[in-house]
Amino acid sequence: MVRQSGGLRRDQARGVRSGRGGNLANLSQHRQGPIGDAVNTLLAAGQADGIICPDVDARDVILLIGYLTRLEPDEWEGRARHLLDVVLDGLQQH
């Protein structure tokens, strides 16, 4: 089920990028909504504890994770976890 819903999200994102689902530039100008609010809350807690880089915001995280939608279905199993680890490791303050 997760793989199917992930595939659906990837297909939807491809549609947005290709112009079938709307304009990606317009989409990126809108507020991130409840997901952005949740990510900002998590980031703020990590930043207050000195764990997360202070210059990172929800939009940064959402844009970076959005690149996972560019994976081809046959790449998903081998790359998605690794790429997400790269993003999460990059958020840590060093």
pTM assigned to the model: 0.61
Please tell me the predicted confidence (pLDDT) of residue 19. 47
Cα–Cα distance, 7 to 93 (Å, whole number): 32
Quickly state the pLDDT bin for 53 (edges 50, 70, 90).
Answer: very high
Cα–Cα distance, 65 to 82 (Å, whole number): 12
Please tell me the predicted confidence (pLDDT) of residue 93. 87
Please tell me the predicted confidence (pLDDT) of residue 3. 41
Cα–Cα distance, 55 to 46 (Å, whole number): 12
Distances 3 to 8, 50, 80 between C-alpha atoms, Å: 9, 34, 12
Res. 22: pLDDT tops 90: no
Domain-wise residue ranges, the chain = 2-91
Query: What is the average per-residue pLDDT within 31-52?
Result: 92
